[in-house]
Amino acid sequence: MRIQIHHEIVQTFDPAAKGLIESLRLAPRSHEGQHVIDWRIDVEANCRLRRTEDAFGNFTDMFSLQGPIETLRIVAEGVIETFDCAGVVRNSIERFPPELFLRDTDLTAPDAALRALGATIKSDDKIERLHGLLLVVREAMQDNEDGESAASGLTAAQALAAGKGGTRDLAHVFVASARAMGAPARFVSGHYFDDGKAGAQCHSWAEAYVEKVGWIGFDPVHCICPHESHVRIACGLDWLDAGPVRAASLGAIAQTMAVIVRQSGFQHAASAQLQGQQ
Amino acid sequence: MVEQTFWDEMTGGGADVRTVYGRVNEWLKSTPPDVLAARRTQAELLFRRIGITFAVYGEKDAAERLIPFDIIPRVIGQSEWSLMEKGLIQRVKAINAFLCDIYGTREILRAGLIPPDLVFGNPHFRPEMAGKRAPHDVWVHIAGIDMVRTGEDEFYVLEDNARTPSGVSYMLENREVMMRLLPDLFSNHRIAPVENYTDLLLNCLRSVAPPRSAGEPVVALLTPGPYNSAYYEHSFLADRLGVELVEGHDLSVRDGVVYMRTTQGPRRVDVLYRRIDDDFIDPLAFRPDSVLGVPGLLDAYAAGNITLANAIGTGVADDKALYTYMPEIVKFYLGEEAILKNVPTWRCREADALKYVREHIGELVVKEVNGSGGYGMLVGPHASKAEIAEFEKKLVAQPDNYIAQPTLSLSTCPAFVENGVAPRHVDLRPFVLTGAEGSRVVPGGLTRVAMRAGSLVVNSSQGGGTKDTWVIEDA
């Protein structure tokens, strides 16, 4: 499937930021399930985008700006061709052995409830167990209608306790409980093309590693393995590693000890359109 | 009591005084206790006036307090020191090689020498640093290696501190105070100087500036601020080094270059001696809620525009579980036997070791692998039954998280305490500086004393004191 994506992020700063530095993970890379035909990122300000690769192999674009900055528009757009690989991610950039993805992070630290999720699944087959987990997570968590959860920062344990969350929270819950089951798991950010809806949202899901097969995607929101509707952008241990934007406004930092990252808040709009079947 | 089983550095366990302590012994004999007491009071006054204080976490009413200072110096002979120095340099060289490797091609894991989960599961391993090279391949510029002595020729490394070891200001201040208090005793000895530490440190920091930085490298010291327990040391060192003491909000990163705010406008910084933990150093790369760090610092580092001393992610090398592999690490990278011995250690992650530890928990010291400063440890012989039971629960729940060591018979040194001169247990933290041209160690280091009789815990956060350490020419 050929998918054209226009991903726009509008940030507003109140009061105007004196300086700003951001790292963006908005650019996909090709692997067997997707081929990037054309992609560009535009920051509508006078700055230089420097592209590097982070430790997980994701493209990272950094820029810094001198203020005052009231609003800032960032656009990532392009065309991607996707293929259904039954969720298996092959020929992706891998910088670490799977063992690394057994690490806990602050956002994915397991508690008793997260460990219990996986413990209920009875199967000897690793893939079956992960599919079982997919169902269990979906049952335990309601999906917020607004896709990305507004209250970011929730840990997997908190989200599970709340019983609902955005795509990010569901992915975190899956990652944390898969790791508790002993399966290396990671967080993936990207886009999900939904034919029925007018505009799609940013999406998140998880990947778990199974020996002899490799990395397999699991999308707890739709309770499926990713297929040609999924466009994979970045992966990491949790949302902090793979999320689209990390920003620090330098103006706020100059006010001692009172930094709230993204305090001024930014609107987050994404739309994906079907360009045409292959 | 058990006192007799400890090796005393003055007497060597025998009736005679060891030669290096000869003059100190004479001085102790000829000086009446009230003069010693007066000297101690003067020392305390000096320290108060200098303002060298220390905060103990977890104590409400003592935001800042003085570390007890003992006026009787600890004496080490030059030949003893030379051997130790060689061992320290070797060890730090191996630690640097290990870090280059673990964040590079990971040969040591391929060789199967270390279980990979010790590295990949280690909270101090920073995936963000993988694939990055430290300028001049130096990761640990300042290392504090904690040593203990148990006999004439028996030195053990208790732990390595490869993150941001503190305490060097005490080493320097102790020497200054001693010179003022006891000038006669000084003129009696030929003592190796420690005052040049800050010069060596500055040279070391300048030498590791990014290769592409032009002109005299600009060095700054990054502190988390006055609420940090070691803030005194940060300001002291910045002052002695003659470099700016900066907090996170004084620095900014623009297009991958770090600038510091000055009265003349932004100034480019080449080397940051940072005393902020990895977690807080860059909110764009690590904890996003950090208000202490500099957003974009890791990016500037990756771009090769700044040197961080010590580099990010060095904590993986001073982990207590990894410590047990140090002899293998030295051999793997340097092809030599380790000069300094490790304390025999049981890795509780191994079932046999765990069984042994549980059976002998009353005799052992059990430590959390990632703990520091004497927190999260159990000293078996000194713990109550309830404390042991409590600790054992934690141990069984997470055996991977613990190691156990025998209670070492730490050597003692004479100390001047409430009821006169008495032996007290000591350890030693020498500071190893590594720059582009190799390593240097200032003779001696920080001697910490357990001021309570029989106590083996020397950590200043647990009420330990310090004393001046003299490396003197062999008689």
Domain that holds residue A96: 84-242
- B332 with B374, same domain? no
Last residue of a domain, one of B406, B422, B439: B406
- B93 with B151, same domain? yes
Last residue of a domain, one of B372, B406, B440: B406
Residue A258 binned pLDDT confidence (cut-offs 50, 70, 90): very low
Give residue A156's pLDDT. 92
Q: Chain B: nearest CA to A237, how far in angstroms?
A: 9
In A218-237, the residues whose Cβ lies within 8 Å of chain B are 237
Q: Mean of the pLDDT values across residues A106-135?
A: 90
Q: Mean of the pLDDT values across residues A249-257?
A: 48
Q: Chain A: nearest CA to B131, how far in angstroms?
A: 7
Q: Does the distance separating the beta carbons of B289 and A261 come in below 8 Å?
A: yes
Q: What's the number of domains chain B is made of? A: 2
- B391 with B459, same domain? no
User: For B245-284, what is each residue's pLDDT tens digit?
Assistant: 999 999 999 999 999 999 999 999 999 999 999 999 999 9
- B363 with B464, same domain? no
The 10 Å CB-count burial string (b at 16+, else e) for B104-121 is eebebbeeeebbeebbbb
* Contact status of B299 with chain A (Cβ, < 8 Å): yes
Q: How far apart are CA A58 and CA B43, in angstroms?
A: 57
- A129 with A173, same domain? yes
How does DSSP assign B340-387, residue by residue? SEEPP-EETTSHHHHHHHHHTTTTEEEEETT--TTTTEEEGGGS-HHH
Q: Mean of the pLDDT values across residues A175-202?
A: 83
- A94 with A181, same domain? yes
Other CB atoms closer than 10 Å to residue A168's CB: what's the count?
Answer: 28
Domain that holds residue B122: 3-210+306-343+408-472
pLDDT at A184 over 90: yes
- Report if residue B283 sits inside a domain: no
- A36 with A151, same domain? no
CB of B160 within 8 A of CB of B452?
no
Query: Which chain B residues are Cβ-neighbours of A46 within 8 angstroms?
Result: none
- B426 with B438, same domain? yes
Give residue B397's pLDDT. 86
* Contact status of B117 with chain A (Cβ, < 8 Å): yes
Q: Tally A–B CB contacts below 8 A.
A: 83
Give residue B4's pLDDT. 44
Query: Which chain B residues are Cβ-neighbours of A48 within 8 angstroms?
Result: 255
Q: Mean of the pLDDT values across residues A141-149?
A: 60
- Report if residue B402 sits inside a domain: yes
Q: Chain A: nearest CA to B115, how far in angstroms?
A: 11
- A216 with A266, same domain? no
CA dihedral sign, ordered B461, B467, B468, B473: negative
Report the complex ipTM. Answer: 0.85
- B354 with B459, same domain? no
- Report if residue B392 sits inside a domain: yes
CATH code for position B386 = 3.30.1490.270
- A232 with A211, same domain? yes
- A131 with A153, same domain? yes
Give residue A124's pLDDT. 84
Nearest CA in chain A to B254: A64
- B352 with B461, same domain? no
CATH code for position A255 = 2.60.40.2250
* Contact status of B287 with chain A (Cβ, < 8 Å): yes
Give residue A152's pLDDT. 58
- A38 with A96, same domain? no
Q: What's the number of domains chain A is made of? A: 2
- B335 with B384, same domain? no
Residue in B121, B130, B285 nearest the CB of A103:
B121
- A258 with A176, same domain? no
Instruction: Give phi and psi for B389, each to the nearest 5.
Output: -60, -45
- A118 with A23, same domain? no
**H/E element holding B30?**
helix B22-30
- B196 with B119, same domain? yes
Nearest alpha carbon to residue A7 among A63, A73, A81 = A73
pLDDT at A52 over 50: yes
Query: Which chain A residues are Cβ-neighbours of B120 within 8 angstroms?
Result: 96-97, 99-100, 102-103
Residue in A21, A56, A259 nearest the CB of B296:
A21
Give residue A56's pLDDT. 95
Pick from A140-154, A180-194, B5-19, B187-201: least confident = A140-154
Residue in A50, A100, A257 nearest the CB of B127:
A100
- B98 with B165, same domain? yes
Blockwise average pLDDT, block size 10, chain B, 475 residues? 68 85 91 91 86 61 71 93 95 97 96 93 93 95 94 89 91 93 90 95 96 90 90 94 95 94 94 95 92 94 95 92 92 95 88 88 83 70 84 86 85 88 92 95 93 76 84 81
Give residue A268's pLDDT. 32
pLDDT at A169 over 60: yes
- A107 with A76, same domain? no
- A268 with A230, same domain? no
